Amino acid sequence: MKDWKQMAMSALVGSSASGLDLYLADRLDPVVGTQTANLAGLAVDNLIDFVGQQQVFLGGVRLTGGLAFRFVVSKIITTLAAELVFVYIVARDKVAAHLEERLTGRKRRSLKDRERMALLRVAINVGVFFTLTYPLRKYWVFVK
């Protein structure tokens, strides 16, 4: 499979899994809080992604110790990266909003919190895909 097609297929599989991640996290936000909901969504994303990515890179599903290990390690790396960026941005945004309100006496106008969280999660997932996820999949996890 050509590199660009493989990247597109990998992105489609990952995006589908991430779409479920976003939906689940959105539904869980009011129940368990944003950070726990984010982690739960990422966990479901990772499980579904494993089977789909094997189809893209290996042409079938096989479970070997080395493959499972590399996949889990790569997912830990990318999940931690996504979560750290998420927590950093949310914390930074809260501090900036507080300072702005304190200095100006007015609250910042923005999208609804749920919409902001969804957009933030999408942006983080896209950034992590191009910088970490695809390179790890192609050159380390799913090597034949």
Task: Provide, rounded to the nearest whole percent, the portion of the chain with pLDDT above 70.
Answer: 88
C-alpha distance from residue 117 to each of 50, 69, 106, 110 (Å)? 25, 31, 22, 12
The mean pLDDT of 26-40, rounded to a whole number, is 91
Per-residue confidence at 90, pLDDT binned at 50, 70, 90?
Answer: confident
Report the pLDDT value the prediction gives residue 115, as an integer from 0 to 100. 80
Range(s) of the domain holding residue 19: 3-141
Nearest to 46, CA basis, from 86, 84, 4, 80: 80
Q: For residue 109, is pLDDT > 70?
A: no
Cβ–Cβ < 8 Å for 72, 53 = no
Q: For residue 32, is pLDDT > 90?
A: yes
Q: Which of 11-15, 41-45, 127-131 has the lowest mean pLDDT?
A: 41-45
Q: In this predicted model, which residue has the larger pLDDT, 121 or 36?
A: 36
The mean pLDDT of 27-44, rounded to a whole number, is 90
Q: What is the pTM of this model?
A: 0.70
Cβ–Cβ < 8 Å for 90, 34 = yes
Q: For residue 10, is pLDDT > 90?
A: yes
Number of domains into which the chain is organized = 1
The mean pLDDT of 14-34, rounded to a whole number, is 90
